[in-house]
Structure 1
Amino acid sequence: MAASSGEWLSRAAMVLVLGLVVAPSAKAGDVDMVFLKSAVSNGAVCLDGSPPVYHFSPGSGSGANNWLVHMEGGGWCRNAQECSVRKGNFRGSSKFMRPLSFSGILGGNQRNNPDFYNWNRIKIRYCDGSSFTGDVETVETSTNLHYRGARVWNAIIEELLAKGMNKAQNALLSGCSAGGLAAILHCDIFRDLLPATAKVKCFSDAGYFFDGKDITGNNFVRTFYKDVANLHGSAKNLPSSCTSKMSPDLCFFPQNVVPTLRTPLFILNAAYDAWQIKNVLAPSAADKKKTWAKCKLDITACSSSQLTTLQNFRTDFLAALPKPEQSPANLSIFIDSCYAHCQSGSQDTWLAQDSPVVEKTQIGKAVGNWFHDREVSRRIDCPYPCNPTCKNRDDD
């Protein structure tokens, strides 16, 4: 359901020196990591028991009291075997994390990110495999797995509140992929933790995973989320506004949560979301003959019948978006017709001369206009392949 462990390790390469794990040196422009070691005593840890991590770039000038909290993505793990694999890379252990640079919505350049560049900008690293919803007290001796995502989120947010976020004037909770889902699931809680006088909103990038059927007509992703919820003990940390009405595993689907939110939300998603096509529409369990293998990697390699299936997928995805009459206040939507996954973290898709546009508007401009109450919009692109500005990619 996520990138391979080999890919993770290549992206977070570590070196062994005399038996010790040594992180690569930070490069110019990298934002240092903050290891929250004080959280370990409260059980707020990654899957392997290591301390949680966030990256912090302090605000300045007019942005000194404004906070942007962005949650990293990276799929989920639904059983001990999958979670154990993550312990060996930065998706499950802070031992494998390293400094990184900020770009896109987290960028610090005024021209490239005019609405958020001088805010306090934080990236919360993702090492729990549950979109920060897990909280199981017991740790199995055989696996030494800790399902504590909710504790990690709470510990880091408490740390940020103590650093000054408790006096925030403006705040935006955002995330990509599994982090984009987390931004929806934790949205109202985040709002309630901040001053009543603050403007607080939430932004989900590639986090609108919908309850769709796969190519065999089954609901593979529904079964997957049920396993995640059961393994991580997620039920008590999912929005009660949803769990009071339906099974907790169904509350991993934003279509069942968003209509219950009280806090303004911006939904950014590709209509042909690369991750969802690979894992919701054509997961390996449904594509045993691998007839979708090439199409899943490159939309231009899809056959005419597969393109028809993709257009139907888009129709079903759009139908799962919140209706205007059931949306939270000031909901904005930006759905482009790209084959992509996560578009806010890279400058070339966020706000650059050749960034993707819908209705002559770039993503970064649309999000900034929405947050600062310059515009509330519902931009939905025409079907593929109508948008020549698309940058097809699969990042999280």
Structure 2
Amino acid sequence: MSDISFYAILSNQQQFNPDFYNWNRVKVRYCDGSSFTGDVEEVDPTTNLHFRGARIFSAVMEELLAKGMKNAKNAILSGCSAGGLTTILHCDSFKALLPSRANVKCVPDAGYFVNVEDISGAHSFQEFYSEVVSIHGSAKNLPTSCTSKHNPALCFFPQYVASHISTPIFVVNSAYDWWQIGNIFVPSSADPSNSWHSCKLNLSNCSPDQLSKLQGFKSEFQRALSEVGDSPSKGMFIDSCYAHCQTETQETWFKSGSQLLANKTIAKAVGDWFYGRSPFHHIDCNFPCNPTCHNRVFQVKDYPGI
């Protein structure tokens, strides 16, 4: 197993991570496929797979508390992509583990996956999440504030959980997240002719009609995001960059030339919000309006399936 380098929000260098460089930092490898919600006693006899992500999360937290986290004065639960979803689903339970006097907040990055129709009109990703919840036995570990009202499969989508989160939370996401566009909005099953291939490699290649549909996706994303709320304890940095995961990459977290929103980097916005210096709740204009963006451009040889 290779070593993990700590960059950006995990960096221990002040010039790259001015507000959190001197914190104790822990990176938990993602290993369960259900954002640490699985809990099935039986082992798959064919694959020998164990679906016990919730137990892994509990064991990690137990060890960290024993190592001193129980005395924390400040704490952040964060992660990107599936780790961002983990952050949302476990935000309140994480806070409950720590002293009531501690300043505990959550910063999910690229984890606000939305339940929207794909370009064919199907809810293909909802079907996928339904399978995940079923296989992993996740229902009992999803927020009861959601499962008491909705099918547990829906409670894997942040938009059905966000309004019930009481812990301060700061959502970092692109409104044109390339992973969501390629897997939720324009999955291969919805584009059998592969007419979106060039567009998904580079948004600059999109036709006017495709761009119009992407603006529609952004509108749907914003509607889903509204469930977070707009109180000062609920922050957000929603840029219009073609990106996915921006807090763990130095170029997009805090560096000369990092993308800006309201003249702030992600690091500055999160730091100001966490320490109560100023709230931050901004959603960018429509692509391609932000000249500071680091827009992802894929090469066919590297990502043939996008």
**TM-score, normalised by the number of residues in structure 2:** 0.95
Cα shift readout 1:273-294 (whole Å, capped 9, x = no counterpart): 0000001110111111111112
Q: Give distance in 1, aligned partners of 2:295 and 2:232.
A: 31
Alignment partner, residue 162 of structure 1: 66
1:323 shift after superposition: 4.9
Aligned to 2:221: 317
User: Are 1:274 and 1:394, in contact at CA under 8 Å, matched by a contact in 2?
Assistant: no
Query: CA offsets, 1:363-386, max 9 Å, x none?
Result: 000001111011112111111111
CA separation of 1:106/1:319 partners in 2, compared to 1, >3 Å: closer, same or farther? Answer: same
1:275 correspondence with 2:179 = yes
In 2, the alpha carbon distance for the partners of 1:244 and 1:271 equals: 29
| Residues 230-249 of structure 1 mapped to structure 2, 5 A cutoff | 230-249=134-153
CA contact (8 A) 2:162 2:227 kept: no
- 1:368 aligned residue: 271
CA distance in 1, matches of 2:119, 2:125: 12
Pick from 29, 32, 36: which aligns with 1:128? 32
Q: How far did residue 328 of structure 1 move?
A: 6.7
Q: 1-side partners of 2:253 and 2:89: how far apart?
A: 23
Distance apart, 1:327 and its partner CA:
5.5
Residues 315 and 98 of structure 1, relative CA distance in 2, 3 Å threshold: same
Q: Which residue of 1 aligns with 2:197?
A: 293
Q: Aligned match of 1:332 in 215, 235, 241?
A: 235
Q: Note the residue ranges of structure 1 that are not aligned, 5 or more in a row.
A: 1-96
| Contact 1:176-1:205 at 8 Å conserved across structures | yes
SS in 2 for 1:223: helix
Equivalences for residues 11-90 of structure 1 within 5 A: none
Q: Cα deviation per residue 1:111-135 (whole Å; 9 max; x = unaligned)?
A: 1101110101011000111111101
Query: Paired residue for 2:255?
Result: 352
| Aligned equivalent of 2:81, options 174, 177, 200 | 177
The whole-number CA distance in structure 1 between the counterparts of 2:253 and 2:296 is: 13
Cα distance, 1:98 vs. partner? Answer: 1.2
Secondary structure of 1:121 counterpart: coil
Q: How many residues align?
A: 298
Q: Who is 1:263 aligned against? A: 167
Letter in 1 for 2:100: A
Q: Secondary structure at the match of 2:225?
A: coil
Residues 1:111 and 2:24 are matched in the alignment: no
Q: 1:260, 1:328 within 8 Å by CA — same for their partners in 2?
A: no
Q: Partners of 2:131 and 2:69 in 1: how far apart?
A: 35
SS of equivalent to 2:236? strand
Among 280, 289, 294, the residue aligned to 1:377: 280
* Aligned amino acid, residue 100 of structure 1: I
Contact 2:174–2:242 at 8 Å: present in 1 too? yes
Q: Tell me by how many angstroms 1:340 deviates.
A: 0.4
Partner of residue 71, structure 1: none
From 28, 52, 55, the equivalent of 1:151 is 55
Stretches of structure 2 that go unaligned for 5 or more consecutive residues are 299-306
Residues 316 and 368 (structure 1 numbering): CA distance in 2 closer, same or farther, change over 3 Å? same
Structure 2: which amino acid aligns with 1:298? Answer: N
Among residues 103, 106, 125, which one is paired with 1:199 in the alignment? Answer: 103
Displacement of 1:394: 8.3
Instruction: Give the AA of the match of 1:374.
Output: R
The answer to whether the 8 Å contact 2:202/2:297 transfers is no
For the 8 Å contact 2:230–2:281, the answer to whether it is kept is no
Deviation at 1:300, TM superposition (A): 1.1
Matched with 2:303 is none
Alpha-carbon separation, structure 1, partners of 2:20 and 2:127: 38
Report the Cα offset of residue 266 of structure 1: 0.2
TM-score, normalization by structure 1: 0.74
Given the superposition, is the C-alpha separation of residues 112 and 147 from structure 1 closer, same or farther in structure 2, using an over 3 Å criterion? same
2:212 to 302, 308, 318: 308
| Residues 212-259 of structure 1, C-alpha deviations (whole Å, 9 max, x = no match) | 110011111111100100010000111111111111110111111110
Structure 2: distance between partners of 1:311 and 1:339: 13
For 1:283-327, what per-residue CA distance to the aligned partner results, in whole angstroms no more than 9, with x for missing partners?
Answer: 111111111112112111111111111111111111111257x46
Give 1 or 2: higher strand fraction: 1
**One-letter amino acid of the structure 1 residue matched with residue 154 of structure 2:** L
Distance change >3 Å, CA 394–CA 240, structure 1 → 2: farther
* Residue identity opposite 1:354 in structure 2: G
Match of 1:229 among 133, 154, 159: 133
CA gap 1:130/1:182 in 2 versus in 1, 3 angstroms: same
Distance 1:140 1:152 in 2: 17
Q: List structure 1 segments (4+ residues) > 4 angstroms apart after TM superposition.
A: 326-329
Measured on the aligned residues, the alpha-carbon RMSD in Å equals 1.4
- SS of 1:101's equivalent in the other structure is coil
